[in-house]
Amino acid sequence: MTIFHAVVPFVATAAILAGGYGKRLRPLTHNTPKPLLTVGLKPILIWQIELLRRYGVDNFVLCVGYKKESIKKILGDGSSLSVSISYAEEEEPLGTGGAIKNAKRFLESEEYFFVLNGDILTNLDPTPLIRHVRERSLVGSIALVKLPSPYGIAYVGEDDLVDKFVEKPLLPFWINAGVYCFSPEVFDYLPDKGDLERITLPLLAEKKLLAAVRYKDVYWRSIDTHKDLDEARKEVSYLERSLGS
């Protein structure tokens, strides 16, 4: 197993947004919250915790709502994963921004903290996100990855003859990878109820308080649909190798 050392002792805490309904993954999510769906032998949440633990994060806040008791039962206080886990519980859906704000009591004393969407699988190193926030006195930074085409692409010459096909290439656009680093100032910009992506991030961008880190040649997949889950399960051996699992 590859040994990773903690390289960011000043970011020891991460919040994971794990409260959604996972409607597009029904019926799998009728009884199981999406972050507990397994890829390989592990739930998505455990993949995420193990990734961040490799980079020095040992304190986690899980923002939970739908089927929260299932998550609490499986992960408990985190001791089985050699981390500490607290829970910010929602009694009603608060959106991604509201969920982070609901976790304020766990995060406001941190100098910086990571936030992850609870439905992504990745091997990206989150530590470069810290540099912009710390050195440029910003409120946050966001990981970006290239947008993969869901379809094959046809290249056509000037003679209208097809030159070649490329299956599902990366497109020349950058998308939100669902991995962030924030300072506690972000709580001034979070809604009580509403989405980080629709409210907070555009506001920070408008005020020039949000930096971006573009990640190339990393594994990243958002688990939104049955097809995504099927693809992730096919790719699990690559993910394990890339993480030294």
Distance CA 191, CA 202 (A): 13
Active site residue 146: no
Distances (CA, A) of 118 to 1, 92, 99, 115: 25, 18, 12, 9
At residue 194, φ and ψ (nearest 5 deg) are 150, 175
State the catalytic residue, choosing from 168, 207, 208, 234.
168
Q: Give just the sign of the alpha carbon dihedral 58, 106, 99, 84.
A: positive
Tell me whether the omega of the peptide bond preceding residue 126 falls within 30 degrees of 0, making it cis: no
Active-site residue list:
168
